């Protein structure tokens, strides 16, 4: 009997040797199943070429061209990626809808003798599952909000917290403000962010509180799922109190890329003219031109970031009414704070480190 691929519409319940996404590079970059590898059976240019032939000549010619290109690409993958795979190799394969592209590779691999599984409905099945999970999974957790003015080292604290933490800015690849873009490291798409977020949530223990930063519902260009955002807004937490000088020094250490790229920094600041006026933005530009970096950061905090925080914080997080005052941002102070947060002493008003 000729072997045939197996099918599943719930691949997250199984373990596979590999998860193989056979879509083009651009499709894969938009979003993919976490842990998947990209082995396109049609690359971006070839996919466009087949589409052009389909529209301008005929579907029949497009299918012949597509078959030839798919065969060539699968042959390359066999000679390279699959060359050393063992007899018990068991991959999961998917494309956009679970159709011809994934079926072509699955057919060849099955003929070799490997146990191959195809994802019914392809990426669209996975994407529907992500959306449904993000409507309910965030509600299963109890959250603790870590708040504080810009420069209070909240991200650093979360990344080193011994308790459960969810680094939303890390998942979004953005620091959550006008100047929060990470150089040479673009944000994921909305779909890609949601895949990352779901994977992170699945690793957390619902029986324990989860610490996260007091974000808005938008981080850079991606949005938080409504279920998570609503739960965050009614969560308790701690607001950090850190001196301006310490915040300035922390930000200078955290954002060296802006010092190295002053012209791009000034271009970013032009977006604030409508809010602060030309005179204020020109003042910031002068501080940049004269390399008065500490004065520039302090002015940005006092004239832009701190007022914006004050306007939004109580409105978005009314239940965060505990405070914790840090004398500085030294490693000793941060370790004491982390111990305090891990102990979750939220019923005790704290004005200084333990």
Q: What is the pTM of this model?
A: 0.91
Q: What's the CA gap between 27 and 135, in Å, rounded?
A: 24
What are the phi and psi torsion angles at 254 (to 5°)? -85, -25
Question: Going by DSSP bridges, is the β-strand pair 117-119/143-148 parallel, antiparallel, or unpaired?
Answer: unpaired
High-pLDDT (> 90) share of the chain, %: 85
Structure-token match 């950090």, residue found: 240
Average pLDDT over residues 214-224: 95
Structure tokens at 182: 């990470």
Average pLDDT over residues 105-122: 96
What are the phi and psi torsion angles at 169 (to 5°)? -70, -35
Same domain assignment for residues 74 and 172: no
pLDDT tens digits, 36-49 = 999 999 999 999 99
- Angle (nearest 5°) at CA 113 between 111 and 115: 105
The kind and range of the H/E element at 151 are none
Same domain assignment for residues 261 and 112: no
Same domain assignment for residues 108 and 222: no
CA distances from 99 to 65, 85, 103, 113, 125 (A): 17, 24, 6, 21, 12
pLDDT band at 346 (very low <50, low <70, confident <90, very high): very low
Same domain assignment for residues 235 and 145: yes
pLDDT tens digits, 229-239 = 999 999 999 99
Q: Is the pLDDT of residue 252 over 60?
A: yes
Q: Is the pLDDT of residue 299 over 90?
A: yes
Q: Is 224 inside a domain boundary?
A: yes
Last residue of a domain, one of 103, 131, 159: 131
- In this structure, what CATH number is given to the domain that contains residue 118? 3.40.250.10
Same domain assignment for residues 184 and 243: yes
Q: Is the pLDDT of residue 123 over 90?
A: yes
Q: Is 211 inside a domain boundary?
A: yes
The predicted structure's pLDDT at residue 180: 73
Q: Is 136 inside a domain boundary?
A: no
Same domain assignment for residues 56 and 199: no
Average pLDDT over residues 312-335: 93
Same domain assignment for residues 186 and 263: yes
- Selecting among 22, 33, 74, 95, the annotated active-site residue is 95
Same domain assignment for residues 186 and 216: yes
Q: Is 339 inside a domain boundary?
A: yes
Q: What's the CA gap between 65 and 33, in Å, rounded?
A: 28
Average pLDDT over residues 284-309: 96
C-alpha torsion angle, residues 257, 222, 177, 160 (rounded to 10): -70
Beta-sheet strand order (sheet of 165-166) = 165-166, 210-213, 143-148, 236-242, 322-326
Comparing CA positions, the residue from 308, 139, 312 lying closest to residue 226 is 139
- What is the chain's mean pLDDT, rounded? 92
Q: Is 252 inside a domain boundary?
A: yes
- Which structural domain range is residue 286 located in? 141-343
Q: Is 335 inside a domain boundary?
A: yes
- Answer left, alpha or beta for residue 102, where phi above 0 means left and psi between -120 and 50 means alpha: alpha
Same domain assignment for residues 222 and 302: yes
The kind and range of the H/E element at 218 are strand 218-219
State the total domains in the chain: 2
Asked about 245 being catalytic, the answer comes back as no
Beta carbons of 106 and 99 less than 8 angstroms apart: no
pLDDT band at 347 (very low <50, low <70, confident <90, very high): very low
Same domain assignment for residues 38 and 178: no
Q: Is 1 inside a domain boundary?
A: no
Q: Is 167 inside a domain boundary?
A: yes
Same domain assignment for residues 127 and 155: no
Last residue of a domain, one of 131, 157, 181: 131
- In this structure, what CATH number is given to the domain that contains residue 268? 3.40.50
The predicted structure's pLDDT at residue 166: 96
pLDDT tens digits, 136-151 = 999 999 999 999 999 9
Q: What's the CA gap between 281 and 89, in Å, rounded?
A: 60
Q: What's the CA gap between 114 and 71, in Å, rounded?
A: 18
Same domain assignment for residues 201 and 272: yes
pLDDT tens digits, 173-205 = 998 777 777 666 789 999 999 999 999 999 999
Beta carbons of 221 and 187 less than 8 angstroms apart: yes
Q: Is the pLDDT of residue 28 over 50?
A: yes
Last residue of a domain, one of 131, 150, 172: 131
Q: What's the CA gap between 20 and 16, in Å, rounded?
A: 10
- Angle (nearest 5°) at CA 40 between 110 and 97: 75
């Amino acid at each position: 009997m000729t072997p045939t691929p197996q099918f599943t519409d719930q691949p997250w319940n199984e373990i596979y040797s590999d998860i193989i996404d056979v879509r083009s590079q651009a499709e894969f970059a938009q979003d993919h199943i976490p842990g998947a590898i990209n082995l396109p059976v049609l690359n971006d240019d070839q996919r466009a070429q087949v589409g052009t032939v389909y529209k301008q000549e005929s579907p029949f010619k497009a299918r012949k061209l597509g078959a030839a290109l798919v065969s060539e690409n699968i042959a390359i993958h066999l000679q390279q990626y699959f060359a050393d795979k063992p007899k018990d190799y068991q991959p999961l394969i998917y494309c956009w809808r679970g159709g011809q592209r994934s079926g072509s590779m699955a057919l060849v691999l099955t003929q070799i003798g490997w146990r191959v599984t195809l994802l019914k409905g392809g990426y669209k099945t996975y994407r529907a599952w992500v959306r449904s999970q993000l409507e309910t999974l965030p509600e299963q957790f109890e959250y603790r909000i870590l708040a504080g003015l810009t420069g209070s080292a909240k991200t650093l604290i979360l990344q080193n917290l011994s308790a459960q933490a969810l680094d939303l800015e890390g998942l979004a690849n953005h620091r959550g403000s006008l100047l929060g873009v990470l150089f040479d490291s673009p944000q994921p798409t909305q779909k890609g962010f949601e895949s990352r977020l779901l994977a992170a949530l699945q690793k957390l223990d619902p029986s324990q509180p989860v610490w996260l930063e007091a974000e808005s519902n938008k981080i850079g260009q991606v949005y938080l799922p409504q279920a998570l955002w609503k739960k965050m807004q009614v969560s308790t937490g701690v607001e950090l109190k850190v001196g301006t000088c310490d915040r300035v020094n922390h930000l200078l250490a955290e954002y060296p890329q802006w010092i190295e790229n002053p012209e791009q920094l000034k271009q970013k600041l032009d977006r604030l003219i409508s809010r602060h006026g030309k005179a204020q933005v020109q003042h910031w530009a002068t501080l940049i031109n004269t390399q008065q970096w500490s004065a520039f950061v302090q002015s940005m905090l006092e004239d832009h970031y701190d007022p914006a925080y004050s306007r939004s914080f109580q409105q978005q997080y009314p239940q965060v009414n505990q405070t914790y005052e840090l004398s500085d941002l030294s490693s000793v102070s941060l370790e004491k704070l982390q111990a305090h947060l891990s102990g979750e002493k939220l019923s005790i008003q704290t004005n200084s480190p333990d």
